[in-house]
Amino acid sequence: MADLSPKMRRGIGLLLILTALGLAAMLVLSALRDHVVFFYGPTDIQAKAKQGQIVRLGGLVVDDSIQKDQDGIRFQVTDQTTSIEVRYSGILPDLFREGQGVITEGRLDGDIFQADTVLAKHDETYMPAEVADLLKDQGVWKGQE
Amino acid sequence: MPHGTEIGHFALALAFGLTITQALALFAGARSSSAGMIRLGWQAAIMAFILVVISFAMLTLAFLRSDFSVALVASHSHSLKPWLYKVSGVWGNHEGSLLLWVLILTLFGALMAGQLRRISDGRSTMAYALSIQGMISLAFIGLILFTSNPFLRLTSLPDDGNGLNPILQDPGLAFHPPMLYLGYVGLSVGFAFAVAALIEGRADARWAVLARRWVLLAWAALTAGIALGSWWAYYELGWGGWWFWDPVENASLMPWLVATALIHSLRVVEKRNLFHSWTVLLAILGFGLSLIGTFIVRSGLLTSVHAFTNDPTRGIVILVIIMIAVGIPLMLYAMRAGTLGRDTMAEAHALFSRETALQANNLLLVVTTVTVLTGTLYPLVIEAVNGARISVGPPFFEASVGPLLGLMLFFLPVAPLLAWKQASFSKIWRQIWPMLMITAVLLAIVLMLISGMNAFAIATIGLGIWVMTGVAADLFAVMGLWRQHPTGAWRRLRGIPLPRLGMNLAHLGVAVFTIGVAGVSFFDDEVIKRLQIGDHMTSGDAQFTLTSVAPVIGPNYNATAATVIKTAANGESSEFISEIRTFPVARSQTTEAAIQTGFLGDTYVVFGGGTPEEGFVIHIYEKPFITWIWGGAGLMVIGGIITMLGHPTRRQEA
């Protein structure tokens, strides 16, 4: 193989590089198509999300809405226009509070959102960017711009 | 010292001036080969470091003494905090973390100055590099002084401080940022050398020898920093996960991938005088990605667990710094890249050679970086394009990065066996077939022991074993067992050159890490149950009994502790105490998981709260081989450091 001309070798090298890039692009595109998770507020989610599709739901946790029973936890999430019931069987993150912003990931099951994860934040005053935008869209944002 | 804060501020302002001297004197000195200017430049670099140390010490002192007249101390510390967290509180906030960044930046400047003082060969390259390093220090000290001054005083004195976010009050987090910064900032040295090469229009073997030790040091620190962060997330966040593909984690992974590519390609420049322009490009991108990593953490642009509430104007200043720092070198690169190897007569290499293998390594690492970058930025792009809010989570990265890493692991053990220039297939085959056999036999044993594995699990474990056999094969080659008589093999092994030992340790680390990932990804288990005191639950073949839930008083928190007794199948029992801590000052709470660590895996118990009426939530995870993840990272760090120590400071003529 040592006798290949420089031109040939460059050609083979280029071919290898293009193959690798093509392979990577294919992987990325197919992974993006299958694994992107959309984010919705309580108002949008019923209209836009398909039943059973993995999506994220964000909003404010309604005051006094947390209920615990044998199956786990239930709470209401609102964008101040619509509320939706969320069910979750895991452990709530440390910074989960009533009246504060929350993002959950899971699927719509009828009128109920079945959450697999409730995302935690480092900072107790932090409002998830998506939730802040959502509240601005609904015209109920009270924080600073 | 009542005016310590002012002294700190003043010292930083002086350091600002000295970095100007450092940048200009060294640039002029390197250009005109003036020994006097170069001496002035390195002296300025050392002085700047001393002044930043003073500045940092003064801020730390303010935190230790709980001087609440300093605004930063008042908003981020509290008099009741343990002293370790008063110290780590210095960098637990934006201003202080930038000062730490500058401290490390000038530390590297001083270390480079020390080397510049000693060497005779390559002085101008080194001087240019230290000049660039000075410019970076200048930019960041300026950023602190003009937008994020940590030394501002309050006019009215508060009674006590606001406290540090309690989740950050943890030994893992006390050391994670400094280590990570050591890595991020260390890459600035590689960057400075790359820009020096572009200015001189030459990136030869001597240049690679000068730069490689620094890049190895940065790489080892970055590896340790990322591993510490992952370990901290694992035991502190109480989710049982070790990597979440969070934007901030990705931001640290990308420079790591590029730095990994860089240490491999620098080796080719050094040994074979090839890949000059590619290597220079990697060095620029590596530091560029570290800057972007810092920017992502600071800006709040991307939704992440790390998001701090923050001031966007600072983000814009950092963005401008990034654009200058990456933009100008890239322009220079476009002009000069073609001439970098002009003085060298590069010999051609065959397709079947170590050069090609390292090229493949670089290609795969860079493609992986691009993939991670795509997944990280995709939500921003989509939102800009059609307003839809999306997130790209672990499934994307597992599906796209996984196969690329698998391909790398497949080639990894073969590459070190290949000869430079032209490898002989028959010679390699003599080493490879035993490796394949051993891998097959070991994998067969694993398959017999564990039933019901899916194809991905088998492939991952197989790749881990495969990489281990490669390390063994290379050590056998060192011992000469392929060619020579076994006597003297041990002596030859002890005489192994340090860089080769380091490489093998790091590669062994990759193998150990891979097996850890396989264990956690494919064999983990979790159960969650609501228990009354005295109730049992089972996980695997062990039984867990909740024995008590009781209040505990900590130094600056109150906690509720749940005690769970595990009774294993063989009758051995052990105790787990998981706490929910409430911090009154910060009005927030954290969960402390109880973790029993073992060689073959961890048992991880989390108390999820509850009341005697409703029952208490207990969450139990089994995490097989999770310690191997950090053990593997540890081996990589040690390997990197050994390689660095054994690396020649100047090129040894062979």
3-state helix, strand, coil in chain B (%, to 5): 65, 10, 25
Domain contains B113: yes
Chain B residues touching residue A2 (CB < 8 angstroms): 350, 422
Q: What does B163-192 look like in DSSP terms, one character per residue?
A: ---GGG-SHHHHHHHHHHHHHHHHHHHHHH
A38-137 domain in CATH 2.40.50.140?
A: yes
CATH of the domain at B624: 2.60.98
Residue B550 covered by a domain: yes
Question: How does pLDDT run across B163-174, given as a tens digit for each residue?
Answer: 666 666 677 777
Number of domains in chain B: 2
Amino acid sitting at position B595: I
Report whether B181 contacts B612 (CB < 8 A). no
**CB nearest to A94's CB, from B359, B360, B588:** B588
Structural domain of B535: 525-628
What average pLDDT does chain A have? Answer: 76
A-B interface: how many C-beta pairs under 8 angstroms?
Answer: 135
* B350 at A interface, C-beta within 8 A: yes
- The reported pLDDT for the residue numbered B652 is 44
DSSP annotation of B90: G
In a domain, residue B132? The reply is yes
- Rounded to the nearest angstrom, the gap between the alpha carbon of residue B117 and the centroid of all alpha carbons in its chain is 30
* Cα B427 to Cα B414: distance, rounded to the nearest angstrom: 12
> Smallest CA–CA separation between B589 and chain A, in Å?
6
CA gap B184, B297 in Å, rounded: 13
Residue of B306, B366, B390 for testing the chain A interface, max A β-carbons within 10 Å? B390
Q: What confidence tier does A145 reach under pLDDT thresholds 50, 70, 90?
A: very low
* CA–CA distances in Å: residue A38 to residues A89, A131, B332, B371: 22, 13, 41, 20
B 256-285 → A contacts, CB under 8 A: none
CB-CB neighbors (< 8 A) of A36 in chain B: 378, 382, 390-392, 396
Question: Quick check: B247 and B298 in contact, CB under 8 A?
Answer: no
Considering only alpha carbons, which residue of chain A is nearest residue B421? A2
- Please name every residue paired with B617 in a beta bridge, in sequence order, or none if there are none: B530
For the stretch B68-97, pLDDT in tens is 888 888 888 888 778 888 888 888 788 888
Give the torsion through C-alpha atoms of B343, B25, B121, B105, to 10 deg: -100
Closest Cα to residue B372, out of B264, B245, B220, B183? Answer: B245
Do B404 and A30 lie within an 8 Å CB cutoff? no
Judge whether B565 lies within some domain.
Answer: yes
What residue ranges of chain B have pLDDT lower than 50?
303-309, 651-654
CA distances from A136 to B269, B301, B303 (A): 54, 17, 17
A29 DSSP 8-state letter:
H
ipTM of this complex: 0.71
Cβ neighbours, 10 Å, residue B271: 17
Task: Report residue B100 as tokens.
Answer: 């730490």
**Predicted local distance difference test score (pLDDT) of residue A144:** 43
pLDDT for the residue numbered B310 = 53
Contact B606 A91 (CB under 8 A): yes
Give the C-alpha separation, B11 to B60, whole Å.
14
Look up residue B75 and give its two tokens: 């908003």
pLDDT of residue B126: 94
Q: Which chain B residues are closer than 8 Å to A124 by Cβ?
A: 165, 586-588
Helix (H, G, I), strand (E, B) or coil at B648: coil
Alpha carbon B230 to its chain's center: 10
Name the β-bridge partners of B597.
Answer: B602
Question: Nearest-CA distance from B33 to chain A in Å?
Answer: 39
In residues, how long is chain B?
654
Q: Could you tell me which residues are beta bridge partners of residue A101?
A: A60
Q: Which residues are registered as beta bridge partners of B589? A: B582
- Residue A79: closest CA among A3, A139, A7: A139
Q: How far apart are CA B287 and CA B362, in angstroms?
A: 17
Question: Is B543 a domain residue?
Answer: yes
